[in-house]
Amino acid sequence: MNTLLTIETTPLFWDCECNDNYVHHYTEQACSSCGCERNESPDSRLNEIGIDDILHPHTPERNAHILQKLIDFISEEQMTMFVQKIISEEQ
């Protein structure tokens, strides 16, 4: 029996082998710390992606799509923080 929890991944981010800050935006080709390359690394799971990852300056039009999916995973506090950051960047 397959007991693995199925967690949705996104091709917009990928994981390197670092213990911290291992989520990279898909526009990054490689991790400068561990040397992992995007092409050889797994897609990130939605629940691993942090607010700072979403606020990556590239392709903001896709952020809304990711945020929509993240609603199930992040707390209300994180969501508030996220919205406040977006608002402050637009001013």
* CB of 45 vs Zn ion, minimal distance in Å: 16
Residue 86 in contact with Zn ion, rule: CB under 5 A: no
Residue 78 in contact with Zn ion, rule: CB under 5 A: no
β-pairing, 23-25 vs 43-45, is: unpaired
Residue 49 in contact with Zn ion, rule: CB under 5 A: no
Token digits of residue 49? 């992606």
* Choices 15-23, 40-48, 56-64, 66-74; region in contact with Zn ion by CB under 5 A: 15-23
DSSP string spanning 4-68? PPP--EEEEEEE-S-SSS-EEETT--B-TTT--BGGGSPEEEGGG--HHHHT-SS-GGGHHHHHH
Binding mask 23-42 for Zn ion (x = CB under 5 A): --------x-xx--------
Residue 67 in contact with Zn ion, rule: CB under 5 A: no
Cα–Cα distance between 79 and 91 in angstroms, integer? 19
Q: Which residues bind Zn ion (CB under 5 A)?
A: 16, 18, 31, 33-34
